[in-house]
Structure 1
């Protein structure tokens, strides 16, 4: 008996693009070299800074562990749905980093990994082009 043909499935998933912005109470000093309004964007897995703007590696280190969680949908009662501000890692600095979801982006499992979906003999398809 010949092998069965692969099953064609839609292996797409969506994640949020993010904008992370420096905010600070008026009159307070920012100790990491940033200015209120400095930001970076996360588009899929790519992090982008505006031309000529830097970002503290210590601030980046404080926020990076949260970004992949913020990119994904959560259950309604999950704290990640409501908590959007992260304190500066310097305990003497009053600034915060605000995480804002800016849109969604679609990925396909077969395009971002060589590992097949478990228990399947599946072929990825882009159903949006049919």
Structure 2
């Protein structure tokens, strides 16, 4: 199992039977007051289906992440071209004072074996 970021990978690697996108959720803009301490361009990466990675010494607000969570599974998969999930990548933090807007981006593809996942 390998992760290939920002490069087209093979259709499938030996022993793999599924392909998912790795994702980056980053703070696109803050239109209010950042109570949680996040700043524009802060991010968290989701790789290999379910691994969360943060830059050293950084944090990501769990409430902001909770707002993004329901969209991640769909964003990890290939979707029909006319599916709204292909066009909509912005998610708002639930704190109305912050007005923190996050963007979900695909950063690469990951080859996986479905039998290794639950």
User: TM bucket by the smaller chain?
Assistant: 0.7 to 0.9
Name the residue aligned to 1:93: 98
Q: 2:29 aligns with which of 14, 24, 28?
A: 24
Structure 1 unaligned residues grouped into runs of 5+: 1-9, 114-130
Structure 2 unaligned residues grouped into runs of 5+: 1-14
- Find the structure with the greater CA-based Rg: 1
What is the Cα-based RMSD across aligned positions, in Å?
1.8
- TM-score between the two structures when normalised by the length of structure 1: 0.71
Name the residue aligned to 1:38: 42
Query: After the TM superposition, which segments of 4 or more aligned residues of structure 1 sit over 3 Å from their partners?
Result: none
Partner of 1:61: helix, strand, or coil? helix
Partner of 2:111: helix, strand, or coil? strand
Give yes or no for the alignment of 1:110 onto 2:107.
no
Name the residue aligned to 1:6: none
Map residues 45-56 of structure 1 onto 2, 5 A cutoff: 45-56=50-61
Quote the offset at 1:78 in angstroms: 1.0
